[in-house]
């Protein structure tokens, strides 16, 4: 799909913003936004004009001292980007734990934000959550899936690099049985999906290991008054969003879409259902904001 490039300046650093689609409503993919944008279908990009921004998540634009970033800094920088892009109404998209960040942005009740799409996003990411996900995998994964997991991790032990995080291609391949409904996903496919995207490992360690470890999304969650939709799969053994959100406090206008026997990427593995659910959800946005 054809793209155009815009830019924003955050703390005196210029960051590219990739724009795809021609839908009537803007949406902004945050976190590793270009990866999320790449995973969305052409049909999705007819519903939205999709903006993608990586900011300092990109190794090429890494911050010299990433551990100084707070959650408030991350939220402020997203608003700064929206302001510079001149998006008067925008839906935020957060894949995986970036959904937690998207919800923190929505808590600010800024009129620019008119909805949030969560893709396979858990409400928490801390040692207790990780232990739950591990136990859930052991209890519910098929023997074939567990065998695949063991074989890939054994291979990873031979190729891993120092300080690799869960967002490196090697670690992602090693955990494929936890990420994909089709646990036979190939290295070649993963390389194609991640082509040209190199994530700053220092920022990932800080975000996943420091910020989220002490974060409590439930605090002031009632401040999120915009419509929120969570789309997730039953075979997501990484973040286990469907199970974790069953008992976690939710925003007032919260829709859950069970995408069936798919994993952490329902927008790829259950594309038609994903797009149809978002299209239906957009009717709520249209009624609320006259878009």
Alpha carbons 266 and 120: distance in angstroms, whole number: 8
Alpha carbons 44 and 1: distance in angstroms, whole number: 12
Among 32, 115, 127, 99, residue whose Cα is nearest residue 245: 99
DSSP string, 84-109: HHT-SSEEEEEETTHHHHHHHHHTT-
Q: What is the pTM of this model?
A: 0.95
Per-residue pLDDT in tens (0 to 9) along the chain, 291 residues: 679 999 999 999 999 999 999 999 999 999 999 999 999 999 999 999 999 999 999 999 989 888 889 999 999 999 999 999 999 999 999 999 999 999 999 999 999 999 999 999 999 999 999 999 999 999 999 999 999 999 999 988 887 777 666 667 888 889 999 999 999 999 999 999 999 998 898 898 899 999 999 899 999 999 999 999 999 999 999 999 999 999 999 999 999 999 999 999 999 999 999 999 999 999 988 777 666
Task: Give Cα separations from 248 to 8, 79, 169 (angstroms).
Answer: 35, 26, 31
Ramachandran sector of residue 283 (left: φ over 0; alpha: ψ -120 to 50; beta: rest)? alpha
Domains of the chain with CATH codes: 4-124+214-289 (3.40.50.1820), 127-193 (no CATH)
Dihedral angle sign, alpha carbons of residues 109, 110, 112, 116: negative
| pLDDT score of 201 | 86
132: how many CB neighbours lie within 10 A of its CB? 16
**Angle, alpha carbons 239-191-133 (nearest 5°):** 15
Alpha carbons 142 and 237: distance in angstroms, whole number: 12
Strand order in the sheet with 113-119: 4-10, 13-20, 48-53, 25-29, 90-95, 113-119, 228-232, 254-258
128: how many CB neighbours lie within 10 A of its CB? 10
Question: What tokens appear for 172 in the block?
Answer: 């992602």
């Amino acid at each position: 799909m054809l793209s155009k490039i815009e830019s924003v300046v955050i703390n005196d650093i210029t960051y590219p913003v990739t724009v795809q689609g021609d839908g009537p409503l803007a949406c902004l993919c945050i976190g590793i936004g270009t990866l999320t944008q790449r995973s969305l279908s052409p049909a999705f990009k007819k519903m939205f004009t999709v903006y993608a921004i990586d900011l300092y998540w990109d190794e090429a634009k890494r911050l010299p001292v990433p551990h100084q970033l707070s959650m408030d800094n991350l939220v402020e920088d997203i608003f700064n980007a929206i302001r510079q892009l001149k998006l008067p109404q925008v839906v935020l998209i957060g894949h995986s734990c970036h959904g937690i960040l998207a919800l923190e942005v929505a808590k600010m009740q800024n009129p620019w934000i008119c909805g949030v799409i969560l893709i396979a996003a858990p409400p928490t990411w801390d040692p207790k959550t990780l232990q739950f996900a591990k136990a859930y995998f052991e209890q519910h994964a098929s023997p074939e899936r567990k065998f695949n997991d063991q074989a890939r991790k054994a291979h990873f032990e031979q190729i891993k690099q120092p300080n690799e995080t869960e967002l490196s291609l090697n670690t992602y391949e090693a955990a494929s049985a936890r990420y994909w409904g089709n646990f036979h996903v190939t290295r070649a496919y993963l390389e194609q999906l991640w082509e040209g995207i190199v994530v700053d490992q220092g920022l990932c360690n800080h975000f996943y290991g420091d910020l989220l470890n002490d974060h409590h999304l439930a605090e002031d969650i009632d401040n999120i008054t915009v419509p929120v939709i969570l789309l997730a799969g039953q075979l997501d053994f990484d973040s286990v969003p469907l199970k974790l959100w069953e008992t976690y406090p939710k925003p007032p206008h919260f829709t859950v879409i069970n995408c069936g026997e798919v994993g952490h990427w329902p927008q790829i593995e259950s594309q038609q259902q994903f797009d149809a659910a978002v299209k239906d959800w957009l009717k709520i946005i249209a009624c609320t904001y006259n878009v």
